[in-house]
Amino acid sequence: MNHIITKMSKTRIGIIGAGFVGLSFAVVLAQKGFQVILIDKDRKKIGKIDEKNLPFFEPKLSTYFLKSSKRIEFSYNFELLKKCEIIFITVGTPIGTNGMIDLSNVKQVGKELGKILLKSDFKPILVLKSTVIPGTSRKILKIIEDVSKKKVGKKFGFVTNPEFLREGKAIDDTENPHVIVIGGQNDAKEKIMQFYKNMYKKKIPVILTNYETAELIKYANNSFLATKISFINQIANICDNIPGANVDDVANAIGIDPRIGGLFLKAGPGYGGSCLPKDLQALISYSEKLGELPSLLKAVQKTNDHQVSKIFNVVKKQLKNLNQKKISILGLSFKEDSDDIRESVSIKLITKLIQQKSNVVVHDPMAIGNTKKIFKNKIQYSDSIPEIINESDCLIIMTPWEEYKRLNNSDFQKMKNKLIIDTRRLLKNKKIQGKYLSIGINLNENNH
């Protein structure tokens, strides 16, 4: 195959899908001097992005966007991709109603790419970045070959290249990935490796493998991260029953063991977001389809689901009757530095509290807009922390935003009932007066 990857500034890159991965990748590539064409079938979304109205909050994204958007062409027109030497596919793969991964977006993209390959003579390398269950890349490849009437290798290249960026750190992770995994067809694999080597000046570990292994690596990665979190959450729950025990000391100590590693050992309300829960569920369904018992993965999921009930039960035990009690929630997004509330544990907790007719008031530096779309006027929203805390019967810290770490006793003076539940232990060293309960230290009130 005669792929020509020209000099970096001249290389034209296509990206299909303007979500977290696609948009972050587009601005980083443009910043590095590439010409980028970003395609999304959602015309409204593309129109807004073109008007510099970004669809979500992500640190550094708007700064990068403003600096580099002149090198990005935004469109819903797939035909423009004919100009590209490399085309990255970054569309979403949500969970369908049956618990299996919904591949309709990637399949549709496969058809569109097939159509333009049929009509023109360009020889791109297609790179599937979307998270897909093993076997999917070959299915998509078959769609492209059937529609284009062209064979991979001769007329186009096709590889799988999973993405590991985190929300809230999307730009940093795109600029500085910890690993590059490329699976699939040999010639194209080498070329994409070369492309990344040119793009990243420093050495990044590269794993070259086949389609299926590359696909599975992504699921193994996210499932392992989920496992670490559920593991430490279970240890935290045990700590809550041991007077004097502290989960952070346990995590710090075991994290020093290089065989364990210290990251992703922060106990809390459970993991949320659009990736860990979805990917774990997809791997469970896939294992079951294969006839393999996903017992560990299911336990990880069950442990995670348990955390929200645990927090809810503590509030109920402390306040007895939740009806008309003012319960203040600090943090709505599933993690700090994000406005994303998908699978956020905060949202699940609020739903439970509303069912008990509590008067729920919420604060978040970024995620109020998204939360309003769900709860509308069923809860109250405020951008003032003092207002949230005033006359409150119970304050629950859910997301570890920086500004919540600065809270101290003087901020809680006007609470009606000084009950503070800190699911992230942000204030654990502040000798908080009143009843201060935190996950992994004394949530069950057995100590201190």
How near is the Cβ of 51 to ligand UGA at its closest, in Å? 26
Shortest Å distance, C-beta 131 to ligand UGA: 6
The answer to the question of residue 216 lying near ligand UGA (CB under 6 A) is: no
Please pick, from the candidates 165, 235, 395, 421, the single residue that binds ligand UGA as defined by CB under 6 A: 165
334 lies in the binding site for ligand UGA (CB under 6 A): yes
Residues 156, 120: Cα–Cα separation, whole Å: 12
Phi, psi of 124 (to 5 degrees): -80, 165
User: Cβ of residue 118: shortest distance to ligand UGA, in angstroms?
Assistant: 32
**In this complex, which beta carbon is closest to ligand UGA, that of residue 131 or of residue 358?**
131
Compute the least distance from the CB of residue 269 to ligand UGA, in Å.
7
Among residues 22, 273, 365, 440, the one that binds ligand UGA under rule CB under 6 A: 273
For residue 239, indicate whether it is catalytic: no
Q: Which of 163, 215, 248, 422 binds ligand UGA (CB under 6 A)?
A: 163
**225 binds ligand UGA, rule: CB under 6 A:** yes
Measured between alpha carbons, how far is 79 from 15 in angstroms, rounded to an integer? 13
The distance of closest approach from Cβ of residue 267 to ligand UGA in the complex, given in angstroms and rounded to an integer, is: 7
Alpha-helical (H) ranges within 80-132 are 104-119
Strand partners, 127: 88, 159
Q: Out of 222, 223, 237, 303, which residue is the one contacting ligand UGA (CB under 6 A)?
A: 222
Considering Cα of 275, then 279, then 281, then 282, what sign does the dihedral take? positive
From the candidates 84, 239, 275, 394, which is the catalytic residue? Answer: 275
Nearest to 151 by CA among 335, 1, 345: 1
Amino acid letter, residue 150: K
Binding of ligand UGA by 389 (CB under 6 A): no
Annotate each residue in 235-264 with x if it binds ligand UGA (CB under 6 A) or - if it does not, as one string: -----------------------------x
Closest CA to 245 of 56, 385, 440: 440
Are 233 and 300 spatial neighbours (Cβ–Cβ below 8 Å)?
Answer: no
Dihedral over Cα of 41, 47, 49, 54: its sign: negative
Contacts of 153 (CB under 8 A, 6+ apart): 1, 185, 187, 188
Which residues have a catalytic role annotated?
275
- State the residues that interact with ligand UGA by CB under 6 A: 131, 163-167, 222, 225, 229, 264-266, 268, 271-273, 275-276, 334-335
